[in-house]
Structure 1
Amino acid sequence: MDRETHDSGVTLAELLAAYSLATDLGLGQPMEHLLRSWRIASRLGAHVGLPEDQQPSLFYVAMLSWIGCVADAPEVAASFGDDIAFRADSYEADLGGLSGYRFFLGHAGAGGSPAQRVKLTATIVATGGRRLMQGIQAHCLITSILAERLGLDEAVCTAVKQFFARWDGHGVPDDIGGEDLSPWVRLFHVGDITEVHHRKGGVDAALRVAGERRGKQFDPALADAFCDIAPEVLPELVDGYDVRTLLVDAPGLHRCLSGSELDEALAALADFTDLRSPNRAGHSSGVAELAGSAARQLGLPAADVAATRRAGYVHDIGLHGVPSTILDKAGDLSATEWERVRLGSYYTERVLARPAPMARIGAVASYANERMDGSGFHRGASGAGIPMTGRVLAAACALRTLIEPRAGRSPKSLKDAATEVRGEVRAGRLDADAVDAVLTAAGAGGRRRVAGPAGLTQREVEVLVLIARGAATGEVATRLGVSRKTAATHVERIYAKTGASSRSAATLFALRNGLLDPLET
């Protein structure tokens, strides 16, 4: 079975910390903004007496509170243009009362025609911003749904619903304020805002915004405490936070997810990623199941099947860094817009670079848009430089994209989509074996392969990879827990099936068929 019940090597805290890097992109902030914000809130909480056993809940609130912003990306774009730029600008404004009203009016219709701007401004004035408030409330509710899917307790689910509430009661919902507001939310409000101002203007800027929002957005006692110890709680402005090191001393955040729990968590986050565009609903989960099934059809080792499926869930996570106005643009993209889309694959790999178990998944995910002839992105990898896991993912993503609607076109039938991806094989852009396995998995008439390239069984593929990496027969036996005689028999059969007469020839066969992952350590 490839859906393991043993530890995946990844904790929920590490997974959410990684995902927070993608959320940072959607906020228009540098990666690790939310991690630094949590550190501020956590240190401030310790200073004001937050019980240690509540620190994990504060962490989850910090990692989750902004995730729901992807759900209203299309609506934000319709009213304010580039949704990422809008959120980045929002850190400079106090969004309560008249100042918030002025902010929304000043950004209405950004990037649109003068007529559009006038119309949207008039709508906000006429409705008193009620539609905006409803959108914000929907953001909070949908974040709580994610918290529930991740198995977090009711207190955390309730707290994330309050993220846009304020101490002065002028937020959303407007019936919550003061001491009724979760202490975790109050702490994170201070961390989230002061981190941005500190990064841009130093300690003085952080102190200034804390004073300005004291008694408004911020709990006045927390604002005062922050001002008293700001240099002690503000993190150093350095890149490259090691998530595992950050969390090592955090109580309650060390439980590893089992393989099946990791799948469930990735599936939940995948659904939220796809909310960035209404046309992409269900895309990532669909790619994951299709790619995992195809990898199994090809006889890939169980670990590769799992990595391919999980990569499908997260292959679009980097699109958090691409504005909704680009993702849903019906016409041709400009060179600048296209470059931002290409960066999505790069961001996917960056976001998932740590911890090591996630890095393996992220490495596979980053190949979703690569092509065998080198015409893909973001690396421009080709041929043997693309592992079979990546080839399968690329084929699955290509097929799913064709049978889904996209801006400016209707979904294609499975039959027409199958014809198109077969054309990509003939053009040298997609791998034939990968496409055939994907089409079989999709029920589109591919050959029903039950083995890997040249008829290799799953175990023979494992042995081939080992001998190509330099393992002698005895080492193969030890690594796989079989007798030396059995290992030797596997090697003989591999040579016979592939036509190889030496380890070097077998290695070349493995390379040509994408069985040696160039990123595997």
Structure 2
Amino acid sequence: MQARDRGVTLAELLAAFSLATDLGLGQPMEHLLRAWRIARGLADRLGVAEGQRDALFYVAMLSWVGCVADAPEVAASFGDDIAFRADSYGVDLGGLSGFGFFVGHAAAGRPVPRRVRAAATLVLTGGRQVVRGIQSHCLTTATLAERLGLEAEVGAALRQFFTRWDGRGVPAGSGAADGSVLVHLFHVADVVEVHHRHGGLDAALAVARARRGRQFAPSVVDAFCAHARTLLDELEDIGDLHRTLAAEPALARRLSEQELDAALEGLADFTDLRSGRRAGHSRGVGELAGSAGRVMGLPGSDQTVLRRAGLVHDIGLHGVPVTILDKPAPLSVTEWERVRLSAYYTERVLARPAALARIGAVAALAHERLDGSGYHRGIGGGALPMTGRILAAACAYRAMLEPRAHRSALTVKTATAMLRGEARAGRLDADAVHAVLTAAGVGGQGRRRGPAGLTPREVEVLGLIARGAATSEVAARLGISRKTAGTHIERIYAKTGASSRSTATLFALRNGLLDPLDS
């Protein structure tokens, strides 16, 4: 089973993750995908080798991922890291204009005396801290490429991402002769996409010409200017992206179960880098939620979804500035709204392809509460499936054990008491809390069955009959005999106290066993 084709390609997974990266850049979703489309068109017109054109996709999807790794440092130096990166698209960061940009954004949002000190430090040190951050960005991005098993050319290009044609980038002195053609292509595409979106064709042409021979390679700019209208018009069908990816053989290799798990773990680790206090959070939630699913006796497929949803449940935090995530004081109403939106972003980022959509739908439930007081939908009761209830409890417990800007990490004893208190208050499901604490080794010997002692098979049968399946249909769907299916149904009725399909359905809804997310 572990080697089975999952129906997800690495290209599709990274295309989804790029939507989260867009948020961290202060750009609308699909910015990087649109930039890749432009760069791909330029590569075709410049006669770039086919193998390099394929590698270009991965460079485009991963080029800005490193901004997650240095987000805390950027926030410490320049305030809101997302606003800083969004503003950077309007400036040529080489030479005096770039230095002026960094000085002007030093300690943004802080009191004037601190801004003056920060600007002075930047001038006196020649921006050494900025350079170190850029080098860290490139190294961590290349490391992710290696973890994903991408070819050496992708990693090499990512290490050169901040080189410039004129040699004024990082590392200092690296220029035309050192830069990868993939980087030269993407530099132009990344910037002109933003300027085209804001100011149309003329704005895109203007920024390309202004940076020709400086940030941008002259040959790439000339190709863009010659074909700009066609290249930008082709962006209108970006909605067909997944068909485009599927049509490119080099991007169509599907991930095995192990490869998908490894890729999601890599993305989880990078997501947690967004805040120094969250390292290992997503991986920990995934492991705890999956284990709690086993304790609860959920079917194996639900356990797998739970583990994977835990890994990516915070992917939407790419849209929340570090200045909010690491704020030691209470959040304002506006700041809280941005945090609440992160759950929506998680679901939106993972909405395609279908194999990821199920994971994303569960992941987006991590902050919902049984009484409807959670976010982003504010759903509760029967609308919150058991997978969501378990994930919410696992996320809450894991977060309690970790330090946050406004508090130190709680002890296991305190966190356990608080989690149980949430269950008594009706905000978390009591069975889910029990399963999470048991999985964490602090809840005693919990039952390995679902509510009312239902076995995993009985939970599956209950789901089918609640949706109208007759005994013969249950048998056919599960590959069992009609007699065995009938026995399961009788036991379900006896354990739940149900006397009919309708009362059994109400029991399933009450206990989160009739998952609204199931197709």
2: CA distance, partners of 1:187 / 1:102: 26
Secondary structure of 2:255's partner? strand
Q: Structure 1 residue aligned with 2:435, among 427, 434, 437?
A: 437
Matching residue of 2:91: 93
1: CA distance, partners of 2:231 / 2:237: 17
Secondary structure of 2:7's partner? strand
Mind listing any 5+ residue stretches in structure 1 that lack a counterpart?
none
Q: 138-147 or 449-458, which moves further after superposition?
A: 449-458
2:486 alignment partner AA = A
2:423 alignment partner AA = V
1:81-480 matches, within 5 Å, as 81-235=79-233, 241-480=239-478
- By how many angstroms is 1:239 displaced? 8.9
Mind listing any 5+ residue stretches in structure 2 that lack a counterpart?
none
1:348 alignment partner AA = T
Percentage identity across paired residues of the two chains: 69
Contact persistence 2:346–2:360 (CA under 8 A) = yes
2: CA distance, partners of 1:239 / 1:27: 23
- By how many angstroms is 1:236 displaced? 5.3
Secondary structure of 1:179's partner? coil
2: CA distance, partners of 1:479 / 1:134: 58
Deviations 1:218-257 (A, max 9, x none): 1100100110000111145659724422312223011111
2: CA distance, partners of 1:292 / 1:430: 17
Matching residue of 1:499: 497
Report how many aligned residue pairs link the two structures: 519
Deviations 1:31-51 (A, max 9, x none): 000000000000110111112
Secondary structure of 2:177's partner? helix
Query: TM-score, normalization: structure 2?
Result: 0.98
| 1:77 and 2:79 are equivalent in the alignment | no
Contact persistence 2:79–2:107 (CA under 8 A) = yes
The two structures, once aligned, show a CA RMSD in angstroms of: 1.2
Against the structure 1 CA distance between its residues 301 and 76, is the aligned structure 2 distance closer, same or farther, given a 3 Å change threshold? same
1:367 alignment partner AA = L
Deviations 1:284-307 (A, max 9, x none): 000000000001111111111111
Query: TM-score, normalization: structure 1?
Result: 0.98
Deviations 1:128-182 (A, max 9, x none): 1111111101000000111111111111111111111111111011242113211
Contact persistence 1:199–1:237 (CA under 8 A) = no
2: CA distance, partners of 1:308 / 1:83: 31
- By how many angstroms is 1:5 displaced? 2.3
1: CA distance, partners of 2:137 / 2:117: 24
1:442 alignment partner AA = A
- By how many angstroms is 1:355 displaced? 0.6
Contact persistence 1:17–1:243 (CA under 8 A) = no
Matching residue of 1:515: 513
Deviations 1:338-397 (A, max 9, x none): 110000001111111111111100100111000001110000001111000000000000
Contact persistence 1:95–1:101 (CA under 8 A) = yes
Contact persistence 2:416–2:437 (CA under 8 A) = yes
1:209 alignment partner AA = V
Contact persistence 2:9–2:254 (CA under 8 A) = yes
Secondary structure of 2:307's partner? helix
Against the structure 1 CA distance between its residues 122 and 206, is the aligned structure 2 distance closer, same or farther, given a 3 Å change threshold? same
Deviations 1:85-117 (A, max 9, x none): 000000000011111111101111110001110
1: CA distance, partners of 2:444 / 2:499: 31
2:499 alignment partner AA = S
1:185 alignment partner AA = V
Secondary structure of 2:324's partner? helix
Against the structure 1 CA distance between its residues 181 and 49, is the aligned structure 2 distance closer, same or farther, given a 3 Å change threshold? same
Matching residue of 1:22: 20
